[in-house]
Amino acid sequence: MLALCAMLLAAPVEAKKPVAVATPVGWVPVGAAGGHCYNPPDFAILGVGDRRLAWNSARGEMMAQWKGERSDGMSVSEKVWTDVETVLLAKPERVEQVSRDNFAACKKAFGGSGIGEWQGWLTGLPGQLTVGECTTPPLDYTLFDYLSINNSWQIPAGVCKGDHFKVAGSAQDFYQIVPNGPWLNIEGDAAGKAEAGSPCTTEECKPGMLVMKFVGASGVTTLYAVGAMREFTAPEHGRISVMINDANLSDNKYKIEARIEHHASIEYGPASK
């Protein structure tokens, strides 16, 4: 019995492991200066409906702080918070990672590093979230406008990589590109050659023809002959615009018949593949 007691007395006492305390969801105090940071919930454990509600709630809480409404020293310009809000509304699921990163940035800022780095992160966030994405709606709609024969590149429209569309114009409207010259339509002077200074001087681009410019996100600019209609598949995100292929736009004039001036209509729209 004495031996058993001795063994029990000699047995080491197992130390209790500290119990980890989870950071509560919501606004938590950070730093000695009275700062608070929004800690988002664990979105992964939420059901579909609750998850969407949590996205909206987290976005609203963060937006209030970014706008300076919490009066804690943190705020960014209206352009910055508007740009961030726009990309979050475009894809609400982005709120999950953004809210986690924002919580970390907030804790670092109120922990002593200051808000400068946090503000810089927010300023660059829209570009980081949308890198490689098309920033304009796909050209899956029809756009109508009228062509000015006295202006340079016009009727701009954003296109996304892979958009397959057509650019077309009315060929029954006529104009002159030189005084007392022949009446042309958007197909141009088939027998002529574009003079130096014209936007497009390739053999395909005729004088007075409707031509298109595509400026890709990479910065590369390509010119195309359009005429009455051209189908095009965007090789990358970018923008298109059109004009008359002419070096001197100032002396161009539309034909007037029965006191009605011609005006060539332009249409952008989806093309059948």
pLDDT in tens, 64-73: 999 999 999 9
Closest to 68 measured CA to CA, from 119, 102, 123? 119
Name the band, by pLDDT with cuts 50, 70 and 90, for residue 17: low
pTM: 0.63
d(CA 139, CA 179): 37
pLDDT of residue 207 exceeding 70, the answer is: yes
Query: Could you tell me the fold of the domain covering 143-270?
Result: Jelly Rolls (2.60.120)
For the chain, what are the domain ranges?
24-130, 143-270
Whether the Cβ atoms of residue 190 and residue 162 lie closer than 8 Å to each other:
no
Written as one string, the DSSP assignment of 65-114 is HHTTTT-SS----HHHHHHHHHHHHHSGGGHHHHHHHHHHHHHHIIIII-
Contacts of 39 (CB under 8 A, 6+ apart): 23, 24, 25, 26, 27, 28, 103
